[in-house]
Structure 1
């Protein structure tokens, strides 16, 4: 008979449990460019669809992530147990207009594009950004 190991929930959220049990994950491809209108962040991540990407602005940082379920077969009472996997956590320069940041997913290239237009500095700002699907 195989014994089931009980791992405390606090430990599961603090370690890279999903990466360890799933055999590893591929790293995202992240590129940042700058032009006369502002900055553009492009992210490709293997195995992620358009609905998987999450984009948040937290104070002066741009956080791009997706949520992973901790268990393939969810035990009773653990329907929502997920952990965030960071794809990018970028410092936002003072010249970025955080109110005008937009994100869209290009189906043809399977790539998330985030546009960061220029403007005046803003501090202590938080906003969730929805991803549009082309």
Structure 2
């Protein structure tokens, strides 16, 4: 199917996918924001339909991961699978030992403070001859 010829068909398919997602247990998209604030990055997350007490924050493989458990019935019982909401890379300029998370109203705030590498280190290097 060529998109330029069958644009109406493509639009109809996209509309039906959205409706099917909603009717078949679809979920709302998480609201994620990352901004610089003072001497740190501030990651805020709100996940409609998920209790904030179910959100979890972990450092895995050089990233701050925000996730919540999703439960599925299986033949062997209940299967718990993490649903990742946000993944933020921890660069050299972030003090990973002092990352903090807290609940503010109905959203999660994760503060990633900078270390000395992010504040800048400057000096002149003499060339030896």
User: Aligned residue for 1:91?
Assistant: 89
Pairing 1:65-104 to 2, within 5 Å after superposition = 65-71=67-73, 77-79=76-78, 81-104=79-102
User: Aligned residue for 1:116?
Assistant: 112
User: Aligned residue for 1:27?
Assistant: 29
Can you give the 5+ residue segments of structure 2 that lack an aligned partner in the other structure? 1-20, 118-129
Q: Identify the structure with the greater helix proportion.
A: 2
Change (3 A) 1:82 1:20: farther
TM-score w.r.t. the length of structure 2 is 0.66
Q: Could you say what secondary structure the match of 1:86 adopts?
A: strand
**RMSD (Å) for aligned C-alpha atoms:** 2.3
User: Aligned residue for 2:39?
Assistant: 37
CA distance in 1, matches of 2:32, 2:51: 16
How big is the shift at 1:64? 0.7
CA distance in 1, matches of 2:22, 2:84: 16
TM-score w.r.t. the length of structure 1 is 0.64
Structure with more contact order per residue of length (Cα contacts < 8 Å, sep ≥ 6) = 1
Query: 1:44-97 CA deviation, whole Å, 9 max, x = no partner?
Result: 1101223210111113211110001012xx75x414x11111100111221111
